């Protein structure tokens, strides 16, 4: 069984997204630990990329801050090695196909296995092109996590049938970012997913308030939050861990 499944065993999962190296890797480590200590069930770690096409301005700026601070993929691998000394919840990387290609796919994915990364989310990798990475992910027991969007329509069943780890259901069209309300008919999408797989479904993009998280948890297995956490990092910098911890607790309680 995928280790990621453990994140969904204790009721609804709360999944924070954190950009590695924003403002520095020591703060990232402290934020991850604060999130886990306050109830995060799985942690999504962003490897910064210069052209993050799925991201809104908040996470784009975090990518730029991290890259200008000198963060590299190897330094992030070392960060995870350190975190794995005491962090036991599943952790996944969110990055772009180019990052994996330029590092060398085999080297990247085998290192994920070695350091204890449980899954990989590549938002710019179309389902039809996943064979680029899927065999390596299977070989090294790293779940290649599928995204389903409101535009997936007749592909939802096909993607769901082959899903590993958990399904990342994108709540709305466009890029990541805080939204005042989510209008997509997510229930009907989840219905199709449930008819085709037992793999857990977590909803992301636009969730920032406890009441939104609660609503998403009613129809899915968990909520993913990125921009609201990155905003706290932008606001508080190195002092952010305690604020992120409080925020994660409020969101987990709402679930």
What superfamily does domain 3-254 belong to in CATH? Aldolase class I (3.20.20.70)
| Residue 179, pLDDT score | 42
| Residue 177, pLDDT score | 44
User: Which uninterrupted H or E stretch holds 13?
Assistant: strand 13-19
Distance CA 93, CA 234 (A): 21
Measured in whole angstroms, the distance separating CA 237 from the mean position of its chain's CA atoms is 21
3-state SS class at 67: helix
Q: Break the chain into its structural domains and give their ranges.
A: 3-254
Measured in whole angstroms, the distance separating CA 253 from the mean position of its chain's CA atoms is 20
Contact 32, 81 (CB under 8 A): no
- Among 6, 16, 91, 4, smallest CA distance to 246 is for 16
Task: Walk along the chain (255 residues) and give the pLDDT tens digit of each residue.
Answer: 579 999 999 899 999 999 999 999 999 999 999 999 999 999 999 999 887 665 678 888 888 899 899 999 999 999 999 999 999 999 999 999 999 999 999 999 999 999 999 999 999 999 999 999 999 999 999 999 999 988 887 899 999 999 999 999 998 765 444 444 555 689 999 999 999 999 999 999 888 899 998 999 999 999 999 899 999 999 999 999 999 999 999 999 999
Token representation of residue 14:
């709360």
- pTM for this prediction: 0.93
3-state SS class at 167: strand
């Amino acid at each position: 069984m995928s280790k990621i499944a453990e994140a969904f065993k204790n009721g609804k999962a709360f999944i924070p997204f954190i950009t590695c190296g924003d403002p520095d890797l020591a703060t990232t480590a402290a934020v991850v630990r604060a999130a886990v200590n306050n109830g995060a069930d799985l942690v999504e770690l962003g490897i910064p990329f210069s052209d993050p096409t799925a991201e809104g301005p908040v996470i784009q700026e975090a990518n730029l801050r991290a890259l200008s601070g000198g963060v590299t993929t190897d330094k992030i691998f070392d960060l995870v090695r350190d975190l794995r000394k005491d962090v036991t919840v599943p952790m996944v990387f969110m990055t772009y196909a180019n990052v994996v290609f330029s590092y060398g796919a085999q080297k990247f994915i085998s290192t994920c296995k070695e350091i204890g990364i449980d899954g990989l989310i590549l938002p710019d990798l179309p389902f039809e092109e996943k064979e680029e990475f899927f065999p390596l992910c299977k070989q090294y027991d790293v779940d290649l996590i599928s995204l389903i969007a409101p535009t997936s329509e007749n592909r939802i069943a096909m993607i769901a049938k082959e899903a590993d780890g958990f399904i990342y259901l994108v709540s709305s069209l466009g890029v990541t970012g805080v939204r005042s309300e989510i209008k997509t008919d997510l229930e009907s999408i989840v219905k199709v997913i449930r008819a085709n797989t037992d793999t857990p479904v977590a909803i992301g993009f636009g969730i920032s308030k406890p009441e939104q998280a609660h609503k998403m948890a009613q129809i899915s297995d968990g909520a993913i939050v990125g921009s609201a956490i990155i905003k706290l990092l932008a606001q508080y910098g190195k002092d952010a861990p305690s604020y992120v911890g409080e925020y994660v607790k409020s969101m987990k309680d709402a679930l």
